[in-house]
Structure 1
Amino acid sequence: MPADLAVIGLGHLGLPLAQAAVSAGIQTIGYDTDPRAFAELSAGRTPVEGSLTASDIRRMLSGGFRPTTNQAELGRVRTAVICAPTPLGPDRTLDLTAVGDAARALAARLRPHTTVLLESAVHPGTTENFLLPLLEEGSGLRGGRDFHLAHSPSRLDPGNRTHVYTNTPKVIGGLTPACTESAATFYSRLTDKVVRARGPREAEMTKVLETNFRHVNIALVNEMAVLCHDLGVDLWDVIRCAETKPFGFQPFRPGPGVGGHGAPVDPGYLPYNSRTPGHPLRMVSLAQEINDRMPQYVIQRCATLLNEHGKSLRSARILLLGVTYKPDLADQEASPAREIATRLMDMGAQIGYHDPHVLDWRVRELPVPRADSLYEAASSADLTVLLQHHRTYDLQGLAVKAQLLLDTRGATPAGAAHRL
């Protein structure tokens, strides 16, 4: 049966988009070349940790959503949205391999008057310089004349119950004004407000600004955390006071590192044809350096706390609480927990973990023992480290049971634990 929409890439970006489209009554197919993703979705299970729940998937299927690996189905839709992953490569540039594969698959079936949208996080210029040539070469059609093309950066905030798809404004930048309007017509069915950018590059750069804003401000409070600890100042109380200012301030909070799917982008790492000579974002590079240091700082604090209580980090029993990148989700993307565990193991510590959302956790392909009883594990561990504050954790009770508790999230009551 023909569909109105094809979502290409059924990961952490594509599945929520497909869910929103099905909820809006849009006939939607989901295309992915991964047979495991197809099998999981067809069986009513989610293929991506921390994304939609199994009940969400079942509701989508009952609402008409169809996962497929059949490339031919891409030629039967009016709108196609590319949601392929773009992880950071070894050279710190975004890896566009999956976007390229999606573009080639779509181009082979692209029909005139189709609206093609890119939601993947990409470097400014990617829509015009990378995606457009692939679509035109593979289809024989001309972008902006025979088909519409636009970029719309994803603004997903997993687990956020206040800002969901429908009430989060969608930024759109089209190759031509007609492309922008075609994209706006589609997204207006999913969200209450669309914001028209001047073009694809402005839309792409919007994502860069939003992501870098988060990383730079987290880096600032991470540096403040180290400074305040050295000076004997309670940073968490400082933030509580500062956030009462009704203008010119937005609270951010420190932590053991920065996780999530949005990677900071420094023009120094852009593809050569997108770089601006002599104008790197030095603040972004510095922020990344600061945030990358936080796992090592957590290790330092662990060693100091143990030493102050007459214990050595080597052979110490350490319990890590919360190994996901965000509270109350199973998603472990770029979570600092893995690096912290690796460093502690290298220094001879005995590691265990507890996380209500992660039943099996591996570091260096080796299983890490999972605590069945949280309180018993905390009372027997030499040091318990809160890395992620899931709402199921009773931190007041945990502070009583634990021999030593290091809170990297500032979630425990003042004086109940050692805080970052």
Structure 2
Amino acid sequence: MAFKRISDLGDLTGKTAVVRVDLNVPMADGKVSDDTRLQAVKPTVDAIAALGGRSILLAHFGRPKGEVVPEMSLKPVVPALASVLGRSVGFAELGDELPDDEVVVIENTRFFPGEEKNDPALAKKFAALGDVYVNDAFSAAHRAHASTEAVAHLLPSAAGETMGAELEALEKALGEPKRPVVAVVGGAKVSSKLAVLENLVAKVNHLIIGGGMANTFLYAQGYDVGASLCEKDLKDTALRILENAQKADCAVHLPTDVVVAKEFKACAENKVKAVDAVAQDEMILDAGPATVSTLTKVLAECKTLVWNGPMGAFEMEPFDAATVGLAQAAGKLTDEGKLLTVAGGGDTVAALAHAGVKDNFTHISTAGGAFLEWMEGKELPGVVALG
């Protein structure tokens, strides 16, 4: 995975960097309610400033679909960004005269129909804002848009500090990992992660399947999953994945015991049962303690872990136990220097935070779609353009 870094752009004294960032932050009452993505911008702006350069930031906000939607303006984000950066931050419409601030935010790129069409004419307008281009928005790297792909071909280009760190972590996880490699893939539906599973069985040594997805695989193997969430129409697909895993010498781990309940709600009356003892009116809502014990031993045998998705209905106690138990085991192994851990996806980040190990993992990606497409083995246009 070859790409240039900001340091490769040379002396930037008197020059301007056009920087694609992720400012798609949550808002409440007109103010930023979580500045995590703003914090991620700071290392890149600081690196550019250290080389003498100025930053012009491009970003999208929401899904205005090529129309000007006042409620999706980036202007309300500017005060919070200025506070995080500790620099003066200006704001401008594309085509306006730029203010003299150290950093300038350009209005929502998706206000332009040409953005999502990867329009060369719009890319030229973005390129005209500066002398070099830096992409620091991994979360948008799976989209071939004017501000993520086309513009990269018009200026000397590099990956930002946050994006560079992300790409290096991903390379260590699946590109050239230390083996054995184990992947945890959970979530509700197999259908949403088919490509992920099919790619991983050819790349990892162990594949742990959890959440509602596991029910489909158990059903495919002949188990009665009762009233559980299950995509029965994907029985043949699940069997094909298991067959491909066997051919690739990838060990697939499914629950051997499960936590069942008759109601899908927090603190519902529940029981731990073997996978062959689920009643018709029972739902599998989590993996059981014996499964967690077995999987913890699998983690201890491995050198690299890639994690996407929870092991059960982690939003509701006590059906968070398997996710929390396995996540804490992974966090402990990471702290001991025995396991490199990379995780990503919205539910995954929330689950690891819930387990109290968000800061223990080697790397956690906040990019949803881009992280999944990377796990699927797809090339990301925004990254390829930097090569």
Shared topology, TM-score over 0.5? no
Structure whose residues are more often strand by fraction: 2
